[in-house]
Each structure stands twice: as structure tokens, then as C-alpha cells.
Amino acid sequence: MKFNNFDKYQNSCKKTAVYPNIGKNFIYPTIGLMGEAGEVANKIKKIIRDDNSIITKEKKEELVYELGDMMWYIAQLSTELNLKLSDVAKKNLEKLALRKKRNTLQGSGDHR
């Protein structure tokens, strides 16, 4: 897997970042991420309620935009925390692989 693409994406995101105290403001992208997650959840809720859980091409395209916004905020939050997005992605896959090996993918808690 080419994790350097994550870093390229992260660097591209920096070029479009406009918010107060860039480089010293991890709160702004955190709040933005939560807002976008809420938008994704709300769209899914309406698909369940109004569309009998059927995701149309149009609804899928709306979700693509919102998921993209979430990715942007994750990249910016990583930047604010001086983390490489590639490292975040690698660590996540390593964590999940260990959980799978230990048969602890299900359940709760960070350290299972």
C-alpha cells in the first residue's frame, strides 16, 4: 500500500486551509470533523427514514462530498498535531491487524 499518497493529500489540504491560528489550532479542525461526521450521520438517517435504506446514485454522491470533507478535517487535525497522515493510516492498520490476530476486533476499549 502506498502510504505516501496520504502525505501528498495532507500537503494538498494545507493549501486550502483557512481558519484562525493555523499551525496552533487543533480545536478548529476537531470541531469541523465532528460537524462533518454529523452531516454524514444525518444523511444516512434520512436515507433510512425516507428512502427505505436504499442509497441512490445521487445520495451516494452527496455522501462522497461529506466523507471528503471529513478526510480534509482529519488531514488538517493531523497537521495541527504534527502527525503525518501516512503514519496515522499505518498505525490504524497495524492496530486492526493485531486485534484481528487476537480475535478482539469486536468489543470495546482502545487496548483490547
| Lookup: cell for 38 | 454529523
Domain-embedded: residue 10: no
Quick one: average pLDDT of 18-42? 98
Whole-model pTM: value is 0.90
The answer to whether the Cα torsion of 31, 59, 6, 95 is positive or negative is positive
Domain-embedded: residue 33: yes
Place of cell 492496530: 95
CATH code, 79 = 1.10.287
- Rounded CA-CA distance 52/60 in Å is 14
pLDDT in tens, 68-91: 999 999 999 999 999 999 999 999
